[in-house]
Amino acid sequence: MNNISLENKEIIQVVFFILLAFITMFLVLILFFYFSRKKVVLIEIEKKNLELKHQKELLHSVLITQEEERKRIAQDLHDDISSKLNVVSLNSHLLQTPNLNEDEQNNITNNIIELTQKALEESRRIAHDLLPPVLEKFGLHAGIEELVAEYNSTRSVKVSYENHIDFENYPVERHLHIFRILQELLNNSIRHGKATEISIHFTTFGQRKNFTYIDNGLGFDSSNNENSKGLGMKNIESRINFLGGDFNFYSRPNEGVKMEFNFD
């Protein structure tokens, strides 16, 4: 009888230790999954914070670009147009001077006409920089053709342009973003890269549109983050984000620049 009781106690102890082991393992698994999940959540939060920081940087670059554009326009209006109109106003008052002979009247009148014409040309230039008329009237394809022709007319750079996208069916409000991206790239290639040959190519892959830009300029090390944090690149990136696209940028010293981006 005592032997049976002893065996029962041993069985109970074994069962107890087995249950204790299972409970311990269960608690360990719970703690493991808890801390693993907590780590995953922290990584996701950090990732979201980095994305928000990046979006803030892009927004900041857009605001800076807009402010610089406003300052440039204000400067142009003051220096190129306002100053000319002031001289026109002065000459107009001179016409009221008594006893002017015919030659003096003609000289003042010609001066007024010449300054007025220059002021009109400057106002057209400023309006063209804000929104090229050909872009508004005839669409993106015609706007890029005109832009390419302007650069080729300088004879300092050869720009080739090929397009296989029907931009007539593309939302007009998005035309200006693509046009500004291209302007920024061309400006960087010529001003900083000293490029003499530039290739621009638009095509489609399924439902996505693709843009490829290549120049033979001086290039730079695009793997260096400091080189890709300029205001111009931030402005380009923010416009591509607006288009719902993504981009790849490659450059090496003395190997020019290559950029591709896809958009809806």
Digitized pLDDT (tens) for each residue of the chain, 264 residues in all = 555 565 666 677 777 777 777 888 888 888 777 777 777 777 777 777 676 666 666 666 655 666 666 666 666 676 677 777 878 888 888 888 888 888 888 888 888 888 888 888 777 677 666 677 788 788 899 999 988 998 998 888 999 999 999 888 787 778 888 998 998 899 889 988 999 999 999 998 888 899 999 999 998 888 776 666 565 777 788 888 888 888 898 999 999 999 999 987
Pick from 6, 238, 256, 84: which is nearest to 247 by CA? 238
pLDDT tens-digit series, residues 126-178: 766 667 778 878 889 999 998 899 899 888 899 999 999 988 878 777 888 89
Q: Which of 128, 162, 181 is the last residue of a domain?
A: 128
Domain that holds residue 121: 2-128
| Same domain, residue pair 124 and 135 | no
Phi-psi region of 146 (alpha: psi -120 to 50; beta: other; left: phi over 0): alpha
Q: Which of 75, 106, 128 is the last residue of a domain?
A: 128
| Same domain, residue pair 84 and 113 | yes
Pick from 176, 170, 194: which is nearest to 254 by CA? 194
DSSP 155-177: SS-EEEEEE---GGGS-HHHHHH
Beta carbons within 8 Å of 58's beta carbon, 6+ residues apart: 234, 237, 238, 241
Beta carbons within 8 Å of 227's beta carbon, 6+ residues apart: 220, 221
| Same domain, residue pair 117 and 42 | yes
| Same domain, residue pair 136 and 257 | yes
| Same domain, residue pair 248 and 145 | yes
| Same domain, residue pair 102 and 138 | no
Domains held by the chain: number: 2
| Same domain, residue pair 137 and 32 | no
Handedness of CA 215, 218, 224, 229 (dihedral sign): negative
- Indicate which CATH number applies to the domain containing 154: 3.30.565.10
Cβ atoms of 95 and 109 closer than 8 Å: yes
